[in-house]
Structure 1
Amino acid sequence: MSNVKETLREITWRIRNFFVRISTKTNDFLAKHRMEFLTHWPGWLKAIFFLLPAVVLLAVFTFYPIFNSFLISFYEGYNIQRGDFDGYTFIGNYVHVLRLAGFQRAVINTAIIVFVSVPVSILISLIIAVALAAITPLKGFFQTIFFLPYVTNTIAIGLVFAYMFKGNANDLFNLGLANQIIAWFGGQPIVWIGVGATFWSAMSVILIYSVWNGLAFKIIVFLAGIQGIDKQYYQAAQIDGSTKMKSLRRITIPLISPMIFYILVTSVIGTFKTYTSVVAIIGTDGLIPFGRDGMINMKTIVFYVYDYIELAAQDGMMSYASAAAILLFGIILIFTIIQLEVGKRRVHY
């Protein structure tokens, strides 16, 4: 029995020694021919092996759809059912989309939501996170309460908001909770999203929803960052006579600036893709037919893309949808690059 074990041990040692010699000779050859960057190929093979499943999924469900949408945006008269098109156009589909009043309105609506809801939600969530970090009793309870919206379906939340600001399936009556609160304080009920509503009343509901729905994740991230700050910084500042507000400006915000920057970038990207909130609050057509000044268009860019996809059986519609999607991708890319450049000078790592 001992002889068998020794034989197996000898075979194992020889196999291992063989691969070590092969690896050494390969590395010497690569170094001799100035290809040192390939000397770590065993580690590269391991990395490729573990990354391959994720890369395949990204290639199939992310990279290929983006590339295919980019190609379709240059097709003229493309019909998705037949799979044929009349020819190629360089910027024809993009020019057509940019000239449409509906798309221009969608860009304006999206920009309003992004540039209002993102900074407001970041500011409010930062204030709440600082307050939560300063309390000890019931901290876990409040963390759970503030995190609940993050795990709740966005459509369900949107429907609740629609009911709060309208309160009745009949658009002629606005008996929602918001108007009841206004009435309790002696004010006049506001037509938020029903018959007789205005653009800004409907947009206000969407903005309130966007801010509230985005608070949960931001609060948790900021709170984690604040709790990770060494207490000695605050103790030293207190000895120097620094006020709490000054400590917030000079210690807390600079030290969590990477997290603020991360939240800013991801929030801008996510808000540019706003869709479900408009569907839940305004409706599946994104329109208020009988506003005070006529029909009100509350569609966003993503809403506009989906409108064209619904008409994909018609010639050229899928190309217009792809062009609009690529334009949205370009807008997000530009704003992300700008934020990254600004972040290099403003973020403290």
Structure 2
Amino acid sequence: MASLNVSLDERSYPIYIESGLLSNNSPLPKHINSKRVCIVTNTVVAPLYLEALKQQLSDFIVDEIILADGEAQKSLANFEKIMEHMLANTHGRDSTLIALGGGVIGDITGFAAACYQRGIDFIQIPTTLLSQVDSSVGGKTAVNHPLGKNMIGAFYQPKAVLIDIDSLFTLPVREFNAGMAEVIKYGILGDKEFFDWLSNNKAAIKAKDKVVLAEMIQRCCQNKADIVSQDEKESGVRALLNLGHTFGHAIEAEQGYGVWLHGEAVATGMVQAAQLAEHLNYISSAETQQIIDLIVYFDLPIKAPASMTFDDFIKHMARDKKNLGGKLRLIIPTAIGKSEMFDNITHEQLHHVI
């Protein structure tokens, strides 16, 4: 079993990566410090993995919350539903929440854990590629609001992350490809060697070769763990992980959450960031094309919805969490494998890519 550690002093925790963690004996029980457990999952994941997970928790008192599927479920209404369930079932401060699902389930469960009785333990068991390589690691938890994505949330670290590679084999192709946007992001923003590795192994990744997938996920998690260990609450280098997200979140908010998958919006956002970098003479047209080619290989979009205007983008980008003092701050690649934050991008320059 591959494992690595997110180093955050007393909040440090392990990430386990293995085939079969949901069906075989896993390290899960040793990270639960009480008898009461509540699993939060959704209507797609529950029929596939809930019973197998509960069998691993036979020594605990377990109940579950099953939400509907989709980005629209990451709402204050469902947050309240989780709170109501926990209270009605007399869960205490020593209970543990387990997030079994993709990024939506992980984010809302983590936020619920951060808030319930001022903070209880939670464990991430991500079942989508996007959540395995990105959202389950690092402790960013949130719900969406019609005026902005992830604007209501907390930094709150899990006790452990368990990644079962086998769950990717029940994942729809569109969801898998959306996860690849976050994978590619790591290569563009800070790891040229990984970007080249992805380009060289893209066929094996698309064919879901288990050995290649395991290495890919581990490299992504290590990249993120290294960044989070340096900057837990996004005051510096961690902001680079938002490459493509300022543009992407604008697409998601304008189209309605779930119309475009998060990874699809991020893919387009990364292309826009690269095109802006090229316009500003930080990267070459050949580098932009390399980025586009890898994104297109995984059938991801590279152009924003034709219906979105410049003003549509700006109204959402103005609410971005990275902004300070009214200044728009954007992550832009200055090479494949290097990126920086800029707060001096003009509307005229943005017009070039929007």
Whether the TM-score (by the shorter chain) exceeds 0.5 is no
Q: Which is helix-richer, 1 or 2?
A: 1
Q: TM-score, normalised by structure 1?
A: 0.23
Q: Which is strand-richer, 1 or 2?
A: 2
Q: Which has the higher contact order (CA 8 A, sep 6+)?
A: 1
Q: TM-score, normalised by structure 2?
A: 0.23
Bigger Rg, which one: 1
